[in-house]
Amino acid sequence: MARLTASGILDASLELIEREGLDALTMRALADRLDVTATALYYHYEGRDELLAAVVQRTTESLVARAPTDGDWRAQIVALLTSVVVELGTYPDLGIWIITTQSRQPPVMDLHERILQILVDSGHTNAEAIYVKGATLRLLIGHLVLSAAPESPTKGRIPVRYEYLRTTHTEHLGIDRAELFQTALAALLTNHPLTAQEASP
């Protein structure tokens, strides 16, 4: 049997979250998955809270660091938040939990800080920066919530009266969710009341 490591435990935790959701992550379920005793896990992590903190760190630590720092402020925000969607898209309910309940923890605070920095450094007032940051993060949260929802029903289970849902069903299943988010975010930043005038030719 391979030696149990903190990194291996995190890998198994993320696999469990991806397959069964955040609520399925318990020390007992993780021990069963790794074929070890729960006591062996406690050698590396004091409990689920500490394990979750490590999972958050693993999934968010490089999001801000690898985001572009040059170019138009809109492009920077789109690139930054799209990277969040791509990174957390594998674990949608974990993403919701991180962005909402961990909103005052360093990894998420880093995200807030970077968005405000981009906006203020580009000439927005503090009030405008706060407002635009709020709008973009709400779009992000909404996207993560919808991504965590079950896939749409098969075409045969959509009632006939929903003509447009039925006729667009195949295309809906093939849509790139990260690209959809990117398009919505770009539209928001271009048409937002505080930024639309600046965006117009």
* Cβ neighbours for 175, distance < 8 A, ≥ 6 positions apart: none
Average pLDDT, integer, range 3-18: 92
* Tens digit of each residue's pLDDT (9 = 90 or more) over 105-164: 888 888 999 999 999 999 999 999 999 999 999 999 999 888 877 666 666 788 889 899
More confident residue, 67 or 29: 29
pTM: 0.81
Give the 3-state DSSP-derived string for 119-145, with helices as H, strands as E and coil as C. Answer: HHHCCCCHHHHHHHHHHHHHHHHHHHH
* Domain ranges, ordered by start, for the chain: 6-58, 61-199
Assign residue 68 a region (left: φ > 0; alpha: ψ between -120 and 50; beta: otherwise).
beta
pLDDT digits (tens, 9 = 90+) for 162-179: 899 888 888 877 788 889
What average pLDDT score do residues 81-91 get?
A: 88
Closest CA to 101 of 136, 52, 143: 52
Cα within 13 Å of Cα(111), Cβ side = 28
Which CATH number is 6-58 given?
1.10.10.60
Q: What is the pLDDT of residues 49-82, one digit of tens each?
A: 999 989 988 888 777 877 778 889 999 999 999 9
Residues 96-114: b if buried by 16+ CB within 10 A, e if exposed: bbbbeebeeeebbeebbeb
Nearest CA to 41 out of 83, 12, 80 is that of: 12
Number of residues written out for the chain: 201
pLDDT of residue 199: 46
Q: What backbone phi and psi angles, to 5 degrees, belong to 183?
A: -65, -45
Fold of 61-199: Tetracycline Repressor; domain 2 (1.10.357)
Spatial separation of the C-alpha atoms in residues 8 and 90, rounded to whole Å: 18
In the structure, what pLDDT confidence band is assigned to residue 5 with cuts at 50, 70 and 90? very high
pLDDT value of residue 195: 62
